[in-house]
Amino acid sequence: MQPAAAIALMPEGATALEIPSATDRPHFATRPSFDGPPPATSVYLDIPTSVYQAQKFRLYMDPDLLTPDPELEYQARRLAYAYITPAEAPCRADPGPFVRRVFRTLALDLPQTFELLKPSSFGDITVRFRTPEDREAAMRRQPFVLDGATVKLVREGETPNIRRASNDYVVHVLLRGYPIEQRMEKKIKDNCCRFGLVREIHPDCFAAPDLATVHLEHPTEIPNVLLIEYRDGSTSIVPVEIVRVWHRSHSYDADAQYVRIFPAPAPAA
């Protein structure tokens, strides 16, 4: 077990904030891990699809580790998500032909070379224009109203179900029974990114129950259980215990750099 002194660590001057109860936190969060064989301790679960779909999807990514890819950025600027209203409009059952008809009826002067991709979690259907300029030309012409229905195009990153997180809190979490096969820093960060941004991991955690600090918007986002899913359909069940909560202002210096509270990891041999 992790020493109690390590578990109790908080930044100097920080005030311990209230730890949310289990009933105020999500039941679980899932994270796929398809690189490598599943751990020997993984099990097979039968969770209804409706329960999976009810999850609030959120992904935390470390901006310091993100390297912009010009090609990916270009492709993103070609995309728009088409939202059709009202909700009861019959065309929503098969939005592709309706969107085609909207452009051929109301915007025949615009390029008709766009592709319609299968619906995602954003909008009724995804529109991929030939160029970013084609997308922007269509954006300037909207909204499109036809047969009592309105089609509104929304850019990548501007959809209604996306909002910027404020990330006001830092939380100590214990990951109980975390599989040994997943105890690499990158995998721990990847597996936890559904509910927060891992800032540091206690060095002893790679050989004992895991302890980490997680930077997130609010501690009520941390699930009671993390489910790590593997390619063969099995799952690792990892109970998540919140040990301490404090405001992020105590964990960053005057230059907005994170200040460690755990011992620094040993230098690589």
Can you spell out the DSSP letters for 128-182? E-SSHHHHHHHHHHPPEEETTEEEEEEETT--TT-------EEEEEEETT--GGG
- Strands 28-32 and 225-229 turn out to be parallel
Token reading at 42 = 């993984």
- pLDDT for 4 equals 39
Q: Is 61 helix (H, G, I), strand (E, B) or coil?
A: coil
- pLDDT for 144 equals 95
Contact 177, 239 (CB under 8 A): yes
Token reading at 201 = 């991991």
* d(C-alpha 129, C-alpha 138), whole Å: 9
- pLDDT for 269 equals 55
Q: In 3D, which of 111, 117, 68 has the Cα closest to residue 96? A: 117
* d(C-alpha 174, C-alpha 113), whole Å: 52
Domain 70-155 has CATH 3.30.470.10: no
Beta strands in 16-108 (DSSP E): 28-32, 43-44, 79-85
* d(C-alpha 1, C-alpha 202), whole Å: 12
- pLDDT for 55 equals 54
| pTM over 0.75, yes/no | no
Q: Under 8 Å CB-to-CB from 113, ≥6 apart: which residues? A: 129, 130, 134
Alpha helix ranges (H) inside the chain: 4-7, 49-53, 70-76, 95-106, 132-141, 185-192
Q: In 3D, which of 174, 209, 169 has the Cα closest to residue 192? A: 174
**pLDDT tens, position by position, for the chain (269 residues)?**
344 334 557 888 889 899 999 998 988 888 888 777 888 888 888 765 555 545 555 555 555 554 556 887 888 899 999 999 999 999 998 999 999 999 999 999 999 999 998 766 678 898 999 999 999 999 999 989 999 999 999 987 777 766 555 678 888 888 888 888 888 888 888 888 888 888 888 887 777 655 566 656 578 888 999 999 888 889 999 999 888 899 988 988 888 888 888 887 766 55
- pLDDT for 1 equals 35
- pLDDT for 29 equals 85
- For the chain, the domains span 4-60+165-251, 70-155
